[in-house]
Amino acid sequence: MVTGGAGFVGSHLCERLLAEGHRVVCVDNFSTGRAENIAHLLDHPGFRFSLQDVTEGLNVPGRVDAVYHLASPASPADYLRLPVETLLVGSYGTRNALELARRDGARFLLTSTSEVYGSPQVHPQPESYWGNVNPVGPRSVYDEAKRFGEAITMAYHRTHGVRTTIVRIFNTYGPRMRADDGRAVPAFVTQALAGEPLTVTGDGGQTRSMCYVDDLVDGLRRALDSGHAGPVNLGNPVEVTMRELALTVSDLCGSASELTLVPRPQDDPQQRRPDITAAREELGWVPRTSLEDGLRRTVAWFRDSAADTGLPADHEEAASALAA
């Protein structure tokens, strides 16, 4: 079972699991996921979609042998728009997913986030770092939801013996990102393709470490199968400034767009880079896709994303059609 399976990362994970020969139950309520992301999987004999809100419980007939819990708003635009829902999916939703894993003796993987490190004062960030988080700032709804998710996951592991794994995901990009989700890559790509100025926050000197989605999904598969309880960082240790990222995207799009500096959001971290020693040693995992190659694939997808999916153009209509 993949909760949040119609989301950006979740849909790629569903696709990977099916390609490996697994049967997949995809659970989503389309609060941030999209029907279009899984439309191509609907005719696969091993795929089943279930329209459910994980905060209200999980009704999954039959036994599951693995639970990937990805359900949650993940971009600042989404979790600032859905603050209460984000906290509830991190708490009630995680508990409900853990209860299902406990019921069936299934393995459980929680997708946590680099946001648990807050605005880090240790660089790069190892899993042993406890973070520097503002618990009452606007971003705290996501940070604290994931920190609680990690805590309850470990409580189920220690108290009930659930076979759990925690991964902390750093910035990920690739096909199926929503153009309006507020993150840097889709914003830069859509602006560059439209010939609009690329809006870079602050002075553009803040850094992120960008991991292509296929590499991340490979890490998720390895993490669940490893039996390593974690937490373990999954991200690309190659750092890039936001200015460099914007210029690279502009070049790949063949755009003449100029950069425009805009104010940075509150509590926006100055730097992010994962220490992936644990992932390398425990999972045998390292990201293999270069930034330029991953961005080239992402740009190509955005160019083609207006193609007919076989679903209604309106997202709500598409979701209703898929659920039916």
What residues are labeled active site? 142
Cis omega (within 30 of 0) for bond into 186: no
Peptide bond between residue 231 and the one before it cis (omega within 30 degrees of 0):
yes
Looking at the DSSP bridge assignments, the partners of residue 164 are 108
CB 41 within 8 A of CB 14: yes
Q: Do 34 and 3 form a contact (C-beta atoms < 8 A)? A: no
Partners of 208 in the β-ladder = 240
HSE-CB of 172 using CA atoms within 13 angstroms: 31
Residue-wise burial string across 118-128, b where 16 or more C-beta atoms lie within 10 A, e elsewhere: bbbeeebbebe
CA 9 – CA 217 distance, rounded (Å): 7
What end-to-end distance do the CA atoms of the chain give, in Å?
A: 20
Contact (Cβ atoms closer than 8 angstroms) between residue 252 and residue 245: no
Strands 198-201 and 259-262: parallel
Q: Are 293 and 300 within 8 A, CB to CB?
A: no
